[in-house]
Amino acid sequence: MADTLKARTSSDAGQMSLMEHLVELRNRLIKCAIAIAIGATVGWVLYHPVFNVLREPLNDLAGKNVSDKLQVLNPLDGFMLRIKMSTYIGFAIAMPFLLYQLWKFISPGLYQNERRYASAFVASATFLFLLGAGIAFFTLPQALKFLQAVGGKDLYYQYSPESYLMLIVYMMLAFGLGFEFPILLVALQLVGILTPQMLSEFRRFGIVIIFVVAAVITPSADPISLFALAIPMMIFYEISIVIGRVVKRRKAKADAA
Give the tens place of pLDDT for each residue, 147-201.
Answer: 888 888 888 988 999 889 989 999 999 999 999 998 889 888 877 788 899 999 9
Buried b (16+ CB within 10 A) or exposed e, 140-175: bbebbbeebeeeeeeeeeebebbebbbbbbbbbbbb
The predicted model gives 57-81 an average pLDDT of: 87
How confident is residue 15, by pLDDT bands cut at 50, 70 and 90?
low
Give SS3 for 64. coil
Task: Name the DSSP letter for residue 74.
Answer: S
The predicted model gives 135-150 an average pLDDT of: 89
Q: What are phi and psi of 157, to 5 degrees?
A: -100, 115
Lowest-confidence pick of 67-81, 115-129, 210-224: 115-129
Is the pLDDT score of 5 beyond 60? no
Give SS3 for 154. coil
Enclosing H/E stretch for 125: helix 118-151
pLDDT > 90: percent of the chain: 40
**In degrees, to the nearest 5, what angle opens at C-alpha 103 toward C-alphas 203 and 87?**
95
Give SS3 for 192. coil
Is the pLDDT score of 4 beyond 50? no
Separation between Cα atoms, residue 28 and residue 25, nearest integer Å: 5
The predicted model gives 24-34 an average pLDDT of: 92
How confident is residue 232, by pLDDT bands cut at 50, 70 and 90?
very high
Lowest-confidence pick of 30-44, 105-119, 178-192: 105-119
Asked whether 244 and 185 are in contact (CB, 8 A), the reply is yes
- pLDDT attached to residue 58: 87
How confident is residue 102, by pLDDT bands cut at 50, 70 and 90?
confident
The predicted model gives 195-212 an average pLDDT of: 91
- pLDDT attached to residue 194: 86
Task: Name the DSSP letter for residue 118.
Answer: H
